[in-house]
Amino acid sequence: MKFERKGMVNLYKNIIFETKGAVAYLTINRAAVLNALNGETLAEIAQALDKVKADPQIRVLIVTGAGEKSFVAGADIKELEQFKSGYGCRAYVKRGQEIFRILETLGKPSIAAINGFALGGGCELALACTIRIAAEKAKIGLPEITLGIIPGYGGTQRLPRVIGRGKALEMILSGLPVNAQEALRIGLVSKVVPDDQLMKEAEKMAELLCKRAPIAMRLAMEAVGDGIEMSIDDALSYEANMLAILFETEDKKEGMRAFIEKRPPAFRGE
């Protein structure tokens, strides 16, 4: 599948949003501050996610950071430091959680192309993505403890679900980052590639996902995301329900017909 540029949408101050064929790209564009997240940037991310969710032509989202050093180096500490009460901080953090939850439940797979530092909010942004691919130079961690606080955009909840409780507690309590190879070993990322191959690898994965049935991918992500919170019996019933729904779709008919006819399926999301 060849990606043809549909056009760039760059109406933002802190991010770049563009599409190529069925793939959308969201780049955090604050390289001067290592792409740190502030409230304005989070609001722009939310707007971009709304576009991805609403556009049926977009099948996959790639998230990355501008420049050569950083994916996202964390939250904007200068902005956070201004909060003088827990109440103000809580409202700010809850909004960030809501935006990352939108990403996590987008209904379309997202790929974090981790091109450097993914610390604090950057690690949490990557954790909210469906798949994480890291460049060899990547450093990933949750250093909030060194500031006397804890992660607030879902790090204490998503990290243990991804890598297990023990290792997650070690990373959260020590505040120490892991390198790309260690991230791969513990399951924090699914692949590590040379720095100059990162976007090529992310696009290769996006191209593969674009060939899959969109409804089936959405329900598969829901089955995993929701089922992990259920008892095994309830989760198995949930899985069976999802499969039953898919048997009513045109994509199911196309997929099985294509298999019998020994040709690639042409899924339409119907």
215 has pLDDT over 60: yes
Is 124 labeled as catalytic in the residue annotation?
yes
Is 270 labeled as catalytic in the residue annotation?
no
Q: Which of 44, 144, 201, 203 is catalytic?
A: 144
Rounded to an integer, what distance in angstroms lies between the CA atom of residue 171 and that of residue 164? 11
- Cα 4 to the center of its chain, rounded Å: 23
If pLDDT is split at 50, 70 and 90, which confidence band does 10 have? low
Render pLDDT for 78-122 as a digit per residue (tens, 0 to 9): 787 787 678 778 888 999 999 999 999 999 999 999 999 999 999
If pLDDT is split at 50, 70 and 90, which confidence band does 75 have? confident
Q: Which of 44, 124, 201, 203 is catalytic?
A: 124
Ranges assigned E (strand) in 54-166: 60-65, 70-72, 110-114, 117-119, 131-135, 139-141
Q: Which domains does the chain have, with CATH numbers?
A: 5-210 (3.90.226.10), 214-261 (1.10.12.10)
- For tokens 């990373």, the residue is 171
Cβ-Cβ contacts under 8 Å for 263 (sequence gap 6 or more): none
Rounded to an integer, what distance in angstroms lies between the CA atom of residue 211 and that of residue 194? 25
The pLDDT, as a whole number, for residue 38 is 93
Render pLDDT for 26-71 as a digit per residue (tens, 0 to 9): 999 999 999 999 999 999 999 999 999 999 999 999 999 999 999 9
Residue 111 corresponds to which tokens in the numbers above? 């790929």
The pLDDT, as a whole number, for residue 3 is 38
